[in-house]
Amino acid sequence: MTKKKSKVGNFFGWVFGLLFLISSISLISSAYYFGAMTYILVGLVCIPPTWNWFLKKIKKDISGWGRVGIIVGLVVVGMFISQSYGGSVQTETDEIGTPVLAEDTGDIEVDSLVEPIDEFLEKMDLVGEMIQNQESDCAEAISTCESIDVTCASNDVTDTCEQVVKLCESNDGVQATLSETETEGLSDAEIENGILAMDYALDSMDDREIYLPAYLSTVSDYLSECPEPYKVGDTIIAGNFAWTINGMRTAGSIGDSPYLMIDADGEFLILEVEIENIGNSAEYLSSSYIKLVDDQGREFVSDLTAQFYLGSSITFDTINPGIVKDGEIAFDVPTDLTVVDVQISDSLIGSSYYNINLFSEHIN
């Protein structure tokens, strides 16, 4: 019976011990450090291994009720300390990081050599100056991001550009807050909240001065490495194949007769292509080597079923060295597609790719 009670006691000791330790983490994040320390002590008292270690150190035996008394005492002390000292004042922010002033909770005495209202106004001016200093960096970074061809942008550079926009929109939000803030007739509590908000904004400005140039450098470096797009009629060397897009046309259906015909779900965009194996060995030509990318970044692969109905289709199979294949490749695309790039990979895994700009005027 005693052994069974011991197992039950150990079980609840672990449960409550872990709960108090987890609660202490929440208190630490809210800056209730003294209360967190007592909760950590309670958790250690509850957990069987640490309690047994403690008993060995003091070389005394404490009953179960004595252990409960210690736990209750520590909890009461922790609650008292938390209520007496409390946590740090937190400044709320909105979705883009703009400080939000707390509600007025009455007059707060501020012991400072500088008048609170003067400190508030000084920090508002400083935040405004830092925003103005960052405006040119924001404009340059956003302009650079907008200049990147969507077909050339990787996920990394897209994420970086999203961070740039977020930072600059955050500046706009802070600027709007400054413009809307009335400085006349503020209570002590409102002034104190305003100072806290400006301190938060200044910290954010410091972060932006570090990260914004770094983001701009990353995007600029990527832009310099992004290959220049080719034009219709240019020959592209991609791996062991030389590609030339000679033209393009559209069709609602493909086939020589009503019985051997396929209709497009949207419309067929058909490329006139010339492909040569310039390598020293036979190479397999896969349909995955070529795809279309529109101005929204959507990717389209060739329609292998429609290829069967084309009279001069490119067959995706093995090509020997020096052999040139002429033919057409069909893609089923939306009817409103007016701007599109052909993207050609140099291998099945697509480690490098090349873009050919196609526009509506290229369509026959």
- Dump the DSSP string for 159-192: HHHHHHHHHHHHHHHHHHHHHH---TT--HHHHH
Distance CA 333, CA 313 (A): 18
* Domain-ending residue, one of 50, 85, 120: 85
67, 157: one domain: no
Residue 84 main-chain phi, psi, to 5 deg: -75, -40
Q: What is the pLDDT of residue 275?
A: 92
Q: Does 311 map to a domain?
A: yes
Distance CA 324, CA 341 (A): 23
* Domain-ending residue, one of 205, 225, 245: 225
Distance CA 50, CA 43 (A): 9
Domain that holds residue 184: 99-225
- For the cut 80, the answer to whether the pLDDT of residue 266 exceeds it is yes
β partners of residue 333: 267
Q: What is the pLDDT of residue 265?
A: 93
Q: What is the pTM of this model?
A: 0.43
Distance CA 157, CA 163 (A): 10
Query: pLDDT by residue (tens digit) across 51-110?
Result: 778 778 777 777 777 777 787 777 777 666 655 555 444 444 444 444 444 444 444 344
Q: What is the pLDDT of residue 324?
A: 92
216, 243: one domain: no
Higher pLDDT: 350 or 234? It is 234
Q: 280-308 b/e with 16+ CB inside 10 Å = b? A: eeebebeeebbbbbbeeeeebebbeebbe
Spacing of C-alpha 130 from chain mean position? 25
219, 116: one domain: yes
* Domain-ending residue, one of 54, 85, 116: 85
Distance CA 197, CA 174 (A): 10
Q: Does 230 map to a domain?
A: no
Distance CA 277, CA 237 (A): 10
Residue 255 main-chain phi, psi, to 5 deg: 150, 155
* 350 band by pLDDT with thresholds 50, 70 and 90: low
262, 330: one domain: yes
Higher pLDDT: 324 or 132? It is 324
193, 105: one domain: yes
Burial of 112 (0-12, 13-18, 19+ CB in 10 A): exposed
Distance CA 183, CA 295 (A): 47
Mean pLDDT (whole number) for 184-213: 76
Of 172-181, 248-257, 258-267, the one with minimum mean pLDDT is 172-181
Distance CA 283, CA 345 (A): 14
User: How many domains, the chain?
Assistant: 3
The per-residue pLDDT of the chain, averaged, comes to: 75
